[in-house]
Structure 1
């Protein structure tokens, strides 16, 4: 597992997300924000058991 720290695209709070490094190549997961519980889509690349890049975005519209 690899821990990343991001800013929630909805509530703008800092959150921590764990990414599974046991997967291969590009993976997309949906994780809920620890603060506002809204879904965040995280896409990331794994090479040799290490996360090489990641990006994230909101799934729902941002009403705030």
Structure 2
């Protein structure tokens, strides 16, 4: 079974300046693994967005 969680939010705030952005710079995968549960491996694989701050004065 491979659930595919999705974020409901289209935009997010910049952690430095707080400007809201929905401009996607790219995607990357994050894979988290834990000890096996019985005989099944426990793995959570996420595809995450990397966003670009639209504030040109922001150092982010």
Establish whether TM, by shorter chain, passes 0.5.
no
Q: Which structure shows the bigger proportion of residues in strand conformation?
A: 1
TM-score normalised over the length of structure 2:
0.31
Higher relative CO (Cα under 8 Å, sequence separation at least 6) belongs to 2
What TM-score results when the alignment is normalised by the length of structure 1? 0.30
